[in-house]
Chains A and B, each alone.
Chain A
Amino acid sequence: MLVIKGGQVYDPINGINGETKDIWIEGGKIVESLGHIPQDVTVIDALGMIVMPGGIDIHAHIAGSKVNTGRKLCPEDHYEHFRMAKGGLRSGVGFTVPTTFLTGYKYAEMGYTTVVEAASAPIVTRHTYEELEDMPILDKAILITLGNNELLMDRIAMGEMDEARDLVAWLLKSAGGYGVKVVNPGGVENWKWGGNVTSWDDEVKYFNLSPRKITKALIKIADELGLPHPVHLHGINLGLPGSDITTAEIIKDACGRLHLCHLQFLSYGKDKKGRMCSGGSYIANLVNEHPNVTLDVGQIVFGNATTMTSDGPLEYRIQKMTGHKWCNDDVECETGGGIVPLEYKITSLSSAIQWITGMELFLLVKDPWSIALTTDHPNAGPFFCYPQIIRLLMDRDYRNYFISLLPPRAFRGSVLKDLDREYSLYEIAIITRAAQAKILGLANKGHLGIGADADVSIYAPENFGKRQCICRFKHCRRALDFPSWVIKGGEVVVKDGVVLNEVPSVVFRVVPSHDESIKDKIREEFEKYYTISFDNYPVQEDYLKNTKEVICG
């Protein structure tokens, strides 16, 4: 048994806002207080400290084929960022694309205990599982990319919605996935011929479909299957001025729950002269009017990043723009992918507009329960910069100082300078924990009520700036960093900001019920178009040993 004594608890799901409260832990769960503290109990003195549920990241690229190509592609990312093997912990390297063990340790050292891998093609999810086995401490979940799945598109195009639904269920089960990821629906398919889509009604070549039809079908299917997490959408026109228009269109058109990921990247306006500007306030207002829609921000962090996405045509465009090295990977029958490293410069007009757009979303979306803090790691910046973003949200003076560093022209059409909202710790606990758990549908995560998983992070405010961020950005200030303690599944894993030991973790997945005959219906087509045997396709039990099923419905 473990008791966290006397801390100020921020547990928004249970409405607890900084009250002094003891947290009791046994068997990996939060339990009722015994009233008195028996002798054999470990007590953590949290007096004057902030106690929160372990942090949750709803959208990050941490493992699997694309991420690993990124690691291999960028040795220059690793040379100066390393950790030695010590005290039973493994070594690692990497800044924007850290190796697996290092990823687990660094999240934990920030107080995070659950992370979602945001995109894995079903056919390579075996690989994702292998990497996740080598990523200790964190509980995880995998979203599988279905927005350009050809067998699925065939069925949606023919209006065979029952079969489409069964197929989605079978794919989730076969890949050991947790949710449905949709990336540039139809656009990635067109990219396999060198094209793309730019409107929701563009044609998906040879499929008699549009991005709109694919997206709406999947929203409906996710709903019918009762998936804990709704469709996780990376829409069309990402990164382009005018993407706010197409984003607005899908927000208005989505009949059903929808999560819009790294929305900052899809909220750029275009002024009368065709120049890029922030569309943050426009999109935030729309989100405020649509309670069925949630988002994560994908906030820009100035410095190095590695863009990696299933949105193949996007990475091609970034490559053309930057001239940087470029990987593309078309994945048979399912999806695509690309990688380009780049740097967000504080002096660059477009980077500044991207930063402003994200900040506007944070400050103008009214309901913190509908917004999650992410950097779309490592696309907009590395995850270990979250404390910098938290500081920007909580500290208006710091934010204003930051604003003064940006090129003035970046503020054309922006309302950011007029916003004086400061997030409270309670609201921060929502956007980094509680809302993330709710949106994901993980009932035992993101709170400290009786029966919740005992994932707790404890911070001493005087330590917030203690760890110099490795981003070396001289204007970096941090909040909610350097946890004094992190407890994962009831075990202490971090003390004084440093990982002590590894603990077991699980990968969450869903197994939606479906008509088993779907296998016979697709077998023949599968063997015609894929290059592996149908029976070798599903992720075998050997990889699923440390998984936990979350019930649908």
Chain B
Amino acid sequence: MLTKAKDVVCTFCGCLCDDIILTLDENRIVRVERACANGMGLFKNYNPDLLSPKIRGKEASWEKAIKEASEILSSAKYPLIYGLSSTSSEAQRVSVKLAEALGASIDSTSSVCHGPTGLAMQFVGEPTCTLGEIKNRADLLIFWGCNPIVSHSRHFARYSVMPKGRFVQDGRKGRKMVVIDVRLTQTARVADVFLQVKPGGDFELLVALKALVKGKSLDAVEAGGISTKVLQELVTDMKACRYGMIFFGMGLTMTKGRDLNVRELFSLVKELNDHTKFSALPMRGHGNVTGADQVMSWLCGYPFAVNFSKGYPRYGPGEFSVVDLLCNKETDALLVLASDPVAHLPSKAVDHIMEIPTIVIDPAESLSAKKATVYFPTAMYGVDCEGTAYRMDGVPLRLKAPMKGNRPSDEEVLEAILEGVRRC
């Protein structure tokens, strides 16, 4: 019998579109409406059947796997919990509890995407807004170092470029769209203005813009590869708009300058608020990476890169962050929660992962899962288990479980490991 589930939240990316319609047949998704291709992939082909955990690649019982995982963690001297961004905040909360019980380090994928945004924010603050304000008010949209057409496909339609809002009743026609990037991306192709910054030139460009906004003149004929005249035009637009917005991505946070780039960007936006209304918003990638920041902030006081070895949370980006801990070969056991570091981290870090015992909790048997000492195949948040996720702008949403769950959730596995650790 066919059943429909409405207003389902897609957890593939930080847009968390919550209008998805699923058609189910005997606990299989047969039709997905409204999702983009990325979201489609999340729901389609998902098989919720119960699978056995694996210990060193061989199927094992849940009890055995929990016991093995608990022993690995409790005998480790400097364990690390990493990932967090593709699971519910309920599971994230338990992972912090586990880190505390173990005296472990805990870090999220923020550390390798928008960690620098967090650092920048801690220096200068962050003038921001929720996505609805953009839909209702923004008449100037600047996309900097991000390519939402590919990475956040429905962002344009739902939140930024296209929608008709309370005070932008003409939708696309009522908004000017500018893209700043090192190459002509798909997003850049549909922009009203494309400014090609030279690689590594973002910081220079930001400083120049800030100077111009402050009414200073520039000696240089160009900054970051863009002519001063063009910059002056952009500044005129920035000051003349009613509600301006800058979205930025890893083209700014993970290139030369990193947190300094974002600091400069936030200062620029702060400066613009002396002239008109302006906000900035990082394009957060994973479905609940924003939730990871939130949960860690309310439990640890810091958004990522936390260590519990002294019995309380200590903050150390560059010290307790995943790449550093692994590259320095400090970590002697790794628990991966809903992430795939073997596929995504630099090779030196992956080399160390290969040398230490690892535990992977993930609905899919990722590369990291294949390598894991213990692997737990869990339910997928928002598909066959419920929970909470935070959209890129911090708006929290309830995730339903449109499919009947057979597998344990991440949260349940973490709780069981915590119990196991306490018994060890």
Residues of A within 8 A of B (CB): 63, 65, 68-69, 71-75, 77-79, 82-86, 90-94, 97-101, 123-124, 126-127, 130-131, 134, 150, 191-194, 206, 316, 319, 324-333, 339-340, 528-533, 535-536, 540, 542-543
Contact = CB atoms under 8 A, between A and B. Distances in A.
A71 B297 contact: yes
Interface in B119-146: 121-133, 135-137
A100 B93 CA distance: 12
A101 B243 contact: no
Interface stretch (B48-56, B188-196, B220-228, B391-399): B391-399
A337 to B, nearest CB: 10
A311 to B, nearest CB: 15
Contact of A72 (B121, B124, B310): B121
Contact of B125 (A73, A131, A332, A535): A73
Given A192-B137, A531-B130, A531-B159, A130 B388 contact: yes
Given A193-B277, A325-B125, A532-B397, A91 B136 contact: no
A123 B395 contact: yes
Nearest to A191: B277
B380 to A, nearest CB: 18
Contacts of A130: 89, 388, 396
Contact of A194 (B6, B18, B276, B293): B276
Contacts of A326: 124-125, 127, 270
Given A193-B243, A194-B273, A531-B135, 17 more contacts: A63-B298, A69-B394, A73-B126, A78-B313, A85-B101, A85-B311, A93-B301, A123-B395, A127-B396, A316-B273, A327-B121, A328-B128, A329-B129, A330-B279, A331-B133, A333-B132, A529-B135
Given A68-B298, A332-B130, A535 B6 contact: yes
Contacts of B7: 533, 535-536
Contact of B9 (A86, A124, A340, A536): A536
Contact of B118 (A72, A94, A531, A536): A72
B10 to A, nearest CB: 12
Nearest to B310: A84
A206 B18 contact: no
Contacts of A123: 130, 395
A206 B167 contact: yes
Nearest to A541: B398
B253 interface: no
- Of the candidates B133, B164, B273, B312, the one having the most CB atoms from chain A within 10 angstroms of its own CB is B312
B243 A192 contact: yes
Contact of B299 (A134, A150, A542): A134
B418 interface: no
Contacts of A74: 122
A91 to B, nearest CB: 4
Contacts of B100: 85, 90-91
- Of the candidates B298, B386, B397, the one having the most CB atoms from chain A within 10 angstroms of its own CB is B298
A531 B166 CA distance: 12
Interface string B260-294: 00000000001001001101000000000000011
A331 B166 CA distance: 14
A91 B298 contact: no
Nearest to A128: B396
A247 B69 CA distance: 61
A342 to B, nearest CB: 12
Contacts, number: 188
A68 B302 CA distance: 10
20 contacts: A68-B298, A72-B302, A75-B122, A79-B315, A82-B313, A85-B311, A86-B311, A90-B100, A91-B311, A93-B300, A100-B299, A126-B388, A192-B133, A319-B270, A325-B124, A326-B125, A330-B129, A332-B135, A529-B136, A531-B131
A529 B302 CA distance: 33
B242 A193 contact: yes
B390 interface: yes
B167 to A, nearest CB: 7
B312 A92 contact: yes
The A interface is mostly helix, strand or loop, or mixed, namely: mixed
- Of the candidates B9, B166, B243, B301, the one having the most CB atoms from chain A within 10 angstroms of its own CB is B301
Given A127-B396, A536-B398, A529 B6 contact: no
Nearest to B7: A533
B14 interface: no
A372 B93 CA distance: 35
A333 B167 CA distance: 11
B308 interface: yes
A150 B130 CA distance: 15
B19 interface: yes
A72 B122 contact: yes
Contacts of A328: 125-129, 273, 279
Contacts of A69: 126, 297, 394
Given A332-B136, A536-B9, A73 B121 contact: yes
Nearest to B16: A532
A530 B132 contact: yes
A123 B172 CA distance: 26
Contact of A529 (B132, B303, B313): B132
B165 interface: yes
A533 B302 CA distance: 31
B388 A84 contact: no
B352 interface: no
**What are the 8 tightest A-B residue pairs by CB atom distance, in nearest-first order?**
A332-B132, A84-B311, A325-B125, A330-B129, A326-B125, A93-B301, A82-B312, A91-B312
A100 B159 CA distance: 32
A127 B243 CA distance: 27
Contacts of A97: 301
Given A91-B100, A91-B313, A536 B299 contact: no
B396 A329 contact: no
B176 interface: no
Nearest to B103: A85
A453 B313 CA distance: 35
A176 to B, nearest CB: 13
Contact of B127 (A68, A98, A327): A327
B371 interface: no
A78 B302 contact: yes
Contacts of A530: 132
A150 B133 CA distance: 12
